[in-house]
Copies of this chain bind each other. A is one copy, B any other.
Amino acid sequence: MSAIPKEITIYDIARALNVSAATVSRGLAGHESVNIKTRQKITEAAQAMGYRSNQLASNLRKQKSNVIGIMMGTLRSSFMSNVIAGAEEILSKAGYNLIISQTLESLSKEINTAKAMYNNRVDGLMVSLAYETENLDHFDSFVQRGIPLVYFDRVYPHPHCIGVSIDNVKAGYDITEHLIKQGCKRIMHMTAFKLSSVAADRFAGYKKALEDYNIPFDENLITLTPLALTDGTEVARQMLDMENRPDGIFVANDACAVSCIQELKRLGINVPGDIAVAGFNNDTEACIIEPNLTTVNYNGYEMGRTAATHLLDQLIDPSKKSEKNQIILDSDIIIRESSLKKA
């Protein structure tokens, strides 16, 4: 077991080269005002002596962590891994590190995580809200301090922050329209218990589609739950018991749509024959379940890149509040067997 070598500091280099620490600091930073030959000597000495800059000291001095935080309900989804991949690419190019935290959809964990990020002095934050979240008070500290904040995917409109998302109204409309065109007359909608703006938008799209196709809106066909797996199962059972059974359902996320299909099958209901099912997100499960799930797909990678880019813009020029602070990305519906009544 060999001893751990001592850390080299700019003072060591300064001593070795008979210059001041200030010069070494400037030299390593590639400062123009330092003589080119001195600069070279410094770089060489640093290399030879095995120097590594101490970011911890630099961070303190500059009051800047060079870290961007990103938080979301869960990162166990292909969508989210794409978001992160996109954000990481943009941010690492700009010299920032990305720290990640999951809220596991809990508001209290979201509050704690936000606080932790704040205390860790992230230079900026990207947030996709937890299902439970109903207001943005716990992010006020960021706004007050002028720390750039970008919401993505699960956004709430906020006057001072950018939001990057898809057009959930349109997506909800499109998928409902698809079900209608498959011949569905009584379409259930299963959405989030606490109506986040995302869920509310999908709901609005659903309503609008019914309206446009002259299908009466029926309160009884709406189920509000936390969209857990068990909720899908539960709703499947409820459907069975309804006097006027629905012939289609639009569920606001895939996980729930999948558990719903599973239970329907268990109960002997044919999907899509008896009941057509559509989800939202195009998660991995969507193409594992039999029949494969019709759903809404959107590009997480682009969303990550877009959100990160806007964050950087603010970091570079805080005054430049972009005019439009709600950015809408494209989405499209992917039609699979779970909704195809007509071949």
Give bound CA distance, A100 to B91, whole Å. Answer: 11
Give bound CA distance, A77 to B300, whole Å. Answer: 12
A74, A80, A116, A120: most-surrounded residue (chain B CB, <10 A): A120
Q: Report yes or no: A67 in contact with B4, Cβ–Cβ below 8 A.
A: no
A270 on the B face (CB < 8 A): no
A230-266 vs B, Cβ < 8 Å mask (1 yes, 0 no)? 0000000000000000000000000000000000000
Q: Which residue of B lies closest to A95 (CB)?
A: B116
> Which single member of B88, B284, B287 contacts A75 (CB below 8 Å)?
B88
Give chain B nearest CB distance to A334 CB in angstroms. 10
> Which single member of B52, B99, B119 contacts A53 (CB below 8 Å)?
B119
A1-37 vs B, Cβ < 8 Å mask (1 yes, 0 no)? 0101100000000000000000000000000000000
Question: In the assembled complex, which residues on chain B have CB atoms less than 8 Å from the CB atom of A145?
Answer: 4-5
Copies per complex of this chain: 2
Q: Report yes or no: A121 in contact with B284, Cβ–Cβ below 8 A.
A: no
Interface residues of A in 38-82 (CB under 8 A from B): 52-57, 59-60, 63, 65-67, 74-78, 80-82
Q: Report yes or no: B67 in contact with A76, Cβ–Cβ below 8 A.
A: no
A226 on the B face (CB < 8 A): no
Give bound CA distance, A208 to B66, whole Å. Answer: 50
Question: In the assembled complex, which residues on chain B have CB atoms less than 8 Å from the CB atom of A2?
Answer: 144
Question: In the assembled complex, which residues on chain B have CB atoms less than 8 Å from the CB atom of A119?
Answer: 52-53, 55
A85 on the B face (CB < 8 A): yes
Give chain B nearest CB distance to A260 CB in angstroms. 19
Give chain B nearest CB distance to A91 CB in angstroms. 10
Q: How many residues of A contact B (CB 8 A)?
A: 47
Give chain B nearest CB distance to A179 CB in angstroms. 22
> Which single member of B80, B84, B116 contacts A100 (CB below 8 Å)?
B84
Interface residues of A in 100-116 (CB under 8 A from B): 100-102, 116
- Of the A-B pairs whose beta carbons lie under 8 Å apart in the complex, a sample of 28, sorted by A's number, is A2-B144, A4-B145, A4-B146, A5-B145, A53-B119, A54-B121, A55-B65, A55-B119, A56-B60, A59-B59, A66-B120, A74-B85, A75-B84, A75-B88, A76-B78, A76-B81, A78-B78, A78-B81, A84-B100, A85-B102, A88-B102, A89-B102, A92-B101, A98-B100, A99-B100, A100-B100, A287-B287, A287-B288
Which residues of A are in contact with B by a Cβ distance under 8 Å?
2, 4-5, 52-57, 59-60, 63, 65-67, 74-78, 80-82, 84-85, 88-89, 92, 97-102, 116, 118-121, 141, 144-146, 284, 287-288, 301
Q: A81-B81, A287-B287 are in contact. List 11 more A-B contacts (CB 8 A).
A: A5-B144, A55-B65, A56-B63, A57-B60, A60-B60, A78-B284, A80-B81, A81-B84, A88-B100, A99-B99, A284-B287
